[in-house]
């Protein structure tokens, strides 16, 4: 079964700290991997998408890496801000219509 696990489930850090969110997956035959942000009562916003052939993607203060051989991805957030507080979801795509989601990491950045 294709499972996606995110650790930790919740994380609280002071403003300005650099942090790493982890995602692991059991089936390494992936199509792509996406990191999403979800604010309370809202839908998902795509942050970064890494294709199967890529090792990392960067957008502003965010950097996502992918290691298929070990079944892991990390989302690095630099210089965290209170506005980064949200739930971050990892989703592993196995083809164009099969995307498996982790349960998310709830991030709180304290001023």
Partner 1 sequence: DAGITQSPRYKITETGRQVTLMCHQTWSHSYMFWYRQDLGHGLRLIYYSAAADITDKGEVPDGYVVSRSKTENFPLTLESATRSQTSVYFCASSENPGNSNQPQHFGDGTRLSIL
Residues near partner 1 (CB under 8 A) are: 4, 31-32, 34, 36, 41-46, 49, 51-52, 89, 91, 93, 95-104
CB 52, min distance to partner 1, A:
6
**Token output for 36:** 């999403």
Residues 6+ apart with CB under 8 A from 98: none
**Comparison of 8 and 16: residue with beta carbon closer to partner 1:** 8
**Comparison of 26 and 51: residue with beta carbon closer to partner 1:** 51
**Comparison of 9 and 78: residue with beta carbon closer to partner 1:** 9
CB 36, min distance to partner 1, A:
8
CB 32, min distance to partner 1, A:
4
CB 20, min distance to partner 1, A:
20
């Amino acid at each position: 079964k294709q499972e996606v696990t995110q650790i930790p489930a919740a994380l609280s850090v002071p403003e300005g700290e650099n942090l790493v969110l982890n995602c692991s997956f059991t089936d390494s035959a992936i199509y792509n991997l996406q990191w999403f942000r979800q604010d309370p009562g809202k839908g998902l916003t795509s942050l970064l998408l890494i294709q199967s052939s890529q090792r990392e993607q960067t957008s502003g203060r965010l950097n996502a890496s992918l290691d298929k051989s070990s079944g892991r991805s990390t989302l690095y957030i630099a210089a965290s801000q209170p506005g980064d507080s949200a739930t971050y979801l990892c989703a592993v795509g196995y083809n164009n219509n099969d995307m498996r989601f982790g349960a998310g990491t709830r991030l709180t950045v304290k001023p």
